[in-house]
Structure 1
């Protein structure tokens, strides 16, 4: 009987730290969702653009977190798009940008993307722009 009581006590005590860790992680997840940057637009339709002339697209965001946010990586989906972005940390409440310059070499409709990673999350954000390239 003494062994059963000791075993039950050990099981009960081992479960307490686990339940506290789950509650803490749940709170952290909620705070992480609340602390995120806000993009003005994640998809931009540039309309019709002329062939052979690079076209710049600007994605803007506001830092809605309580701490500075830094863009850590920006990657275009193809070599036809060059990128530029805010290189310094964006203070809470301030705006930052990601620029994509599309080399409109081929005629026709297009949809391109740029993937952005920031210091506030490990989940990259995919920004998209689309339009149609008209002949010269």
Structure 2
């Protein structure tokens, strides 16, 4: 009888202490710059929504290199609310773009990898080659 009461107590505590949890859902996990010219605007945005039932707190956003500067949102994001992470790539670097941005938060999946890709071309050549 004691075992049955103990099992019932543990089950009751388990049901009542289910923690609320934030969940981060991105519209897309990859931003494609396409082919852009050297010196172009390098700012792009990753939009997301907190689809969980607790406030989402983004604690850190890091890039895989110094040529990409991410900016995390300020403060917690309420359940159901949306926000964004701004990423600025240094478009003075000619060549392919393949970078990863790591987002750390209190979400059910605490680390998410976002990617940017594309190519920066030099602003040389004829007018016909640029169009």
TM over 0.5: yes
User: 1:46 and 1:53 mapped to 2: Cα distance?
Assistant: 10
Name segments (4+ residues, structure 1) moved above 6 Å. none
- TM normalised by structure 2 equals 0.74
Correspondence for 1:74: 61
- The offset of 1:118, in angstroms, is 1.0
- The offset of 1:122, in angstroms, is 6.3
User: 2:117 and 2:109 mapped to 1: Cα distance?
Assistant: 26
Q: Which has the larger radius of gyration?
A: 1
**Superposition pairs for residues 26-65 of structure 1, below 5 Å?**
36-65=23-52
Name the one with the larger helix percent.
1
Deviations 1:21-76 (A, max 9, x none): 9xx5xxx6xx86xx521110001111111113341110011100111101110001
Total equivalences in the alignment: 116
- Asked if the contact 1:49–1:55 (Cα under 8 Å) also holds between the matched residues in 2, the reply is no
Q: Which structure 2 segments of 5+ residues have no match?
A: 124-131
